[in-house]
A = this chain, B = another copy of it.
Amino acid sequence: MMKKKLNIGMIGYGFMARTHSNAWRRVDNFFDLEYTPVLKTVCGLVKEEAQAFADRWGYESVETDWRKVVEDKNIDLIEVCVPNNFHAVIAIAAAKAGKMVICEKPLALNVAQALEMTEAVEAAGVPNIASFNYRRIPAVTLAKNIIDSGKLGKIFHYRANFLQDWTISADVPQGGMATWRLDAKAAGSGVTGDLLAHCIDLALWQNGSISSVNAMTETFVKERKNVESGKMESVGIDDACTFFCRFDNGSLGNFEATRYARGHKALFTFEINGENGSIAWDLHDLQRLSFFDHNDSGLTRGWRSIHVTDGDHPYMSKWWVPGLSIGYEHSFVHQAADFLESLSTGKATCPTFRDGLETQKVCDAVLDSAKTGQWVNL
């Protein structure tokens, strides 16, 4: 049986372009789908670098002008894997050209952009994804399934952290290809858009809407050398951000992200406490889910450490055998598989741009609150 082809135009050749390219390259080996991805074109500013990327990943051609890719009749899907300040212009152009769009997170620099992007893909009626990949770590998907089953009962608390330590040194520069995430112009914000956006996406998905937030941010290192200008420039991003909030379901939220938590490389965690049970997860040990079931017999109740590698766990029948872990990159393969599947079923797969917009609203409210020192309603 011949598979239907999905021709992909990849905008960007950095870290995220690698994770997405890897996903497209692997999905057919593990999933049985009607559509097969074809790595058509990769686009980036420096032609030689784009070519090297194409050679490595098997793209058929390279391009340095993203508009040409967007307008290319042979391309079905545009992947936006560039710094945040280019998300909107590319995604909107792609939608207007009738392309499907997958856009890296955070969706945009701000709500205004995100709204315009969402309206563009919805007006065009094209499949779209805001690439919050962590929803598709099997343990995270399992957590969502448990929550949706109602096992936890009424929810009281949602807690999430994303703690890193890679910018503690004042010698880390800002700007450029490797450190654009520290440049407010390219990134829009610091840990709020880069890290908290992930936390917020999972929270909204697992626990519903947030009604109000109250936040604090800090920039510990006030000046950094700009890679491009070579000059010391003031730092415009938030190095750390903490906020608490109220969800529509009456539960309380507590969120924190930083790049100054020595000893934590990527301590991305969430915990949800309900009347009848609780769930916790940590990216450092991504194959495990912690689950407390208050309905267990009183004498033997305890937090269960579930090694989410059994055949009946989400996505795991596609991989190896029980006990054998998969990693970070597989979340992108799962997203690719679900997206391709959605083309067959016609049912949109989440998170869509609209989901990304909701997260953006919370991010903006958080930054707003941090600026004013006031609660901000959503």
Query: Cβ of A325 < 8 Å from any Cβ of B?
Result: yes
- Residues in B neighbouring A302, C-beta threshold 8 A: 289, 291, 304-307
Query: Cβ of A156 < 8 Å from any Cβ of B?
Result: yes
Chain copies in complex: 4
- Residues in B neighbouring A324, C-beta threshold 8 A: 266, 283, 327-329
Main SS of the interface on chain A? Answer: mixed
Q: Mark A321-353, 1 if CB is under 8 A from B, else 0.
A: 111111111100000000000000000000000
Binding site for B on A (CB under 8 A): 15, 19, 21-22, 25-26, 28-29, 56-57, 142, 145-146, 152, 156-157, 159, 163-166, 168, 214, 216, 218, 220, 240, 242-244, 246, 250, 252, 254, 256, 258, 260-267, 273-278, 283-289, 291-294, 296, 298-307, 309-310, 312-313, 319-330, 373-375
* B329 in contact with A328 (CB, 8 Å): no
Q: A263-B292, A273-B263, A299-B142 in contact; A159/B322 too (CB < 8 A)?
A: no
Q: A242-B244, A252-B216, A301-B306 in contact; A262/B373 too (CB < 8 A)?
A: no
Complex CA–CA separation, A25 to B29 (angstroms): 10
A-B pairs, top 3 by smallest CB distance, nearest first, are A266-B323, A265-B323, A263-B292
- Residues in B neighbouring A220, C-beta threshold 8 A: 156, 250
- Residues in B neighbouring A287, C-beta threshold 8 A: 284-285, 325, 327
Q: A157-B240, A263-B277 in contact; A325/B322 too (CB < 8 A)?
A: no
Chain B residue, CB-CB nearest to A375: B373
Complex CA–CA separation, A375 to B288 (angstroms): 38
